[in-house]
Amino acid sequence: MTPLSHIRNFSIVAHIDHGKSTLADRLIQSTNTVAERDMKEQLLDSMDIERERGITIKANTVRIDYTAKNGEAYVLNLIDTPGHVDFAYEVSRSMRAVEGSLLVVDSTQGVEAQTLANVYQAIDADHEIVPVFNKIDLPASDIDRVAEQVEDVIGIDASGAIAVSAKTGEGIVETLEAIVTELPAPTGDSDAPLKAMLVDSCYDPYLGVVVLVRIMDGMLKKGDQIKMMQTGAKYGVDRIGVFRPEMQNIDALGPGEIGFITASIKQVRDTRVGDTITHEKKGTDTPLPGFKPAQPVVFCGLFPVDSAQFEDLRDAIDKLALNDASFSFEMETSAALGFGFRCGFLGLLHLEVIRDRIEREYDIELITTAPSVIYHVYMKDGTQIDLHNPADMPDPSTVDHIEEPRIKATILVPDDYLGDVLKLCQDRRGIQLDLTYAGSRAMVVYDLPLNEVVFDFYDRLKSVTKGYASFDYQMEGYREDNLVKMSVLVNEEPVDALSMMVHRDRAEMRGRAMCEKLKDLIPRHMFKIPIQAAIGGKVIARETLSALRKDVTAKCYGGDATRKKKLLEKQKAGKKKMRQFGKVDIPQEAFISALKMDG
């Protein structure tokens, strides 16, 4: 068993694309943890979608053996974390399992919004932080400027920062030495009762649930009877092992070590992230402080295009929820779309990833309704309901007031684009809280309604700043505002999937834009189709889609004009009848395009 003083547990944190996963590759490669022939780019990103998008979605763990320059053998447990704001929950969990962090900063880009958010999480978890400046092989690299930014903006000493190129491998040995010399060793007592933290869990079709644990005190051996302290469930341990990145079985895990166990657990739901695992007989009495469960912030409906695939969709969503603790769902029905699910996500990227995985891994075509957030609706009789779907809005005459969720957004942007960013935030009903400078970049802090951000705020921000702005947010609670439900009617039938909550001052503008967009997207039918936006019983915008006209008078050669008139009158009456019974088909693309509001 490795002595505590020779174990180092650390995570790698950074903004998106600053090179976390590439640095992890080099650390694995230079210590020969993986044979050269098995090495591939982004080794720890195992999902297809992670490799394709080039992002990390799940935090992944690997155990590395390293012999330091002083000849001592060390065991390093590395957790590679995601950089994207939607997966900040993965980051906060990983932080609690380790004692130190490598803060990776791109030496060409400098400090960005997510760098700040992730490093604050590390500071909250009492981590020792070693700054690493990556991409020094690029001509635009400027280490002095970035070191100054790290000291000014984050406030940590960057004098001992390590200059690295994760691509060429320069500076990797220095990084490994810094991990051994500057990061603290874990603490723990092997004779105390077992206390292990459940860091993550995933489902394996052959082994059942694989649980990632960090041992704080005590020993965990094969065959032990264990108990989950939150759920009270008891299991017998079948296998114990470590990830090198593939699973390797060992006999026992001691204090300070990170590894996995399997115990014939059937469902990931039985393993709550942050739970404390102890022995069934002589267990500990005091559980570890757990994590707050992830709160979904964005909700949307997922419906199969072919309603016969509903059962397949249920199966797919059940399986995805096994591996993703932060994804929630419940069944719902809609007049236009049939049976489906109302799902909760941590953000739009999370939504896209889940949707892509369902379409790709389970081959189900989906219709996604407009993303919405949870509103608190206070009724006149003093009760309060949580509104997930705008279509379920109660009668406005019974509602006293509505509160919407607000966020605190931090945007880092080069000076040249500051005006555009301020305008974008003002347009989205933002309230400016702070504006400071770090070198030539402005850091703007805004209080924004989440409703205005979930849809396409990020895309708009990237386009007005040519991709140079970075954005991060945290939830700030609820505030009352003048909100109304806007319904969209096509041929006088309400379309659930397009109803949305809007601010009263902007309802007319949104309604008009929506109707104009739908007019271009819905194909013409044989009868006239009115497209309307309404608040309650009041129509605020309307467009009319004209009918296709079949030439019924083609067979009349000459003769009396009244013959033609008679045929046209007959056609008119037919169209009127058709409009009463006609069914308007709205194509899938129309739903998605109609919801992307531009400027």
CA distance 167 to 41: 10
Is residue 542 very low, low, confident or very high in pLDDT (cuts 50, 70, 90)?
A: very high
Predicted confidence at residue 598, as pLDDT, reads 46
φ, ψ of residue 306 in degrees (nearest 5) = -100, 115
Is residue 52 very low, low, confident or very high in pLDDT (cuts 50, 70, 90)?
A: low
What residue spans in the chain does CATH classification 2.40.30.10 cover? 195-279
Higher pLDDT, 571 or 593: 571
In the predicted structure, residue 291 carries a pLDDT above the cut 80: no
Mean pLDDT is lowest, of 1-5, 288-292, 419-423, 514-518, for 288-292
State which fold the 484-595 domain adopts. Answer: Alpha-Beta Plaits (3.30.70)
End-to-end distance of the chain based on CA atoms, in angstroms?
61
Mean pLDDT is lowest, of 203-212, 249-258, 540-549, for 203-212
CA distance 471 to 461: 9
Predicted confidence at residue 263, as pLDDT, reads 84
What residue spans in the chain does CATH classification 3.30.70.240 cover? 376-481
CA 301, 303, 304 angle in degrees (round to 5)? 160
The mean pLDDT of the chain is 80
The CATH number of 300-369 is which of 3.40.1160.10, 3.40.50.300, 3.30.70.870, 2.40.160.20? 3.30.70.870
Q: Is 507 helix (H, G, I), strand (E, B) or coil?
A: helix
Predicted confidence at residue 366, as pLDDT, reads 84
The secondary structure element, H or E, covering residue 532 is: strand 529-535
Predicted confidence at residue 304, as pLDDT, reads 87
Is residue 54 very low, low, confident or very high in pLDDT (cuts 50, 70, 90)?
A: low
Predicted confidence at residue 411, as pLDDT, reads 86
Predicted confidence at residue 38, as pLDDT, reads 58
List C-alpha distances in Å: 493 to 140, 147, 533. 58, 60, 11
Using one digit for the tens of pLDDT, what is the confidence trace for 566-581?
A: 888 887 777 777 666 6
Taking the model in full, what pTM does it have? Answer: 0.68
Higher pLDDT, 446 or 389: 446
Is residue 466 very low, low, confident or very high in pLDDT (cuts 50, 70, 90)?
A: confident
**Which CATH architecture does the domain made up of 195-279 adopt?**
Beta Barrel (2.40)
Percent with pLDDT over 90 in the chain: 3
- Residues that constitute the known binding site: 17-22, 134-137
Q: Tell me which residue of 271, 264, 263 sits closest to 202, measured CA to CA.
A: 271
Q: What is the largest CA-CA distance in the chain?
A: 109
Predicted confidence at residue 447, as pLDDT, reads 92
In the predicted structure, residue 113 carries a pLDDT above the cut 80: no
State which fold the 376-481 domain adopts. Answer: Alpha-Beta Plaits (3.30.70)
Predicted confidence at residue 599, as pLDDT, reads 40
On the 0-12 / 13-18 / 19+ scale of CB atoms within 10 A, 124 is exposed
Predicted confidence at residue 90, as pLDDT, reads 64
What residue spans in the chain does CATH classification 3.40.50.300 cover? 4-182
What residue spans in the chain does CATH classification 3.30.70.2570 cover? 484-595
- Residues that constitute the known binding site for GTP: 17-22, 134-137
Higher pLDDT, 512 or 60: 512
Q: Is 155 helix (H, G, I), strand (E, B) or coil?
A: coil
Is residue 49 very low, low, confident or very high in pLDDT (cuts 50, 70, 90)?
A: low
Higher pLDDT, 200 or 43: 200
Predicted confidence at residue 318, as pLDDT, reads 82
In the predicted structure, residue 56 carries a pLDDT above the cut 60: no
State which fold the 4-182 domain adopts. Answer: Rossmann fold (3.40.50)
What residue spans in the chain does CATH classification 3.30.70.870 cover? 300-369
Most confident of 111-125, 208-222, 455-469, 550-564: 208-222
Residues contacting 446, CB < 8 A, separation 6+: 408, 409, 411, 425, 430, 431, 432, 433
Predicted confidence at residue 481, as pLDDT, reads 87
Predicted confidence at residue 123, as pLDDT, reads 83
Is the separation of the CB atoms in 337 and 285 below 8 Å? no
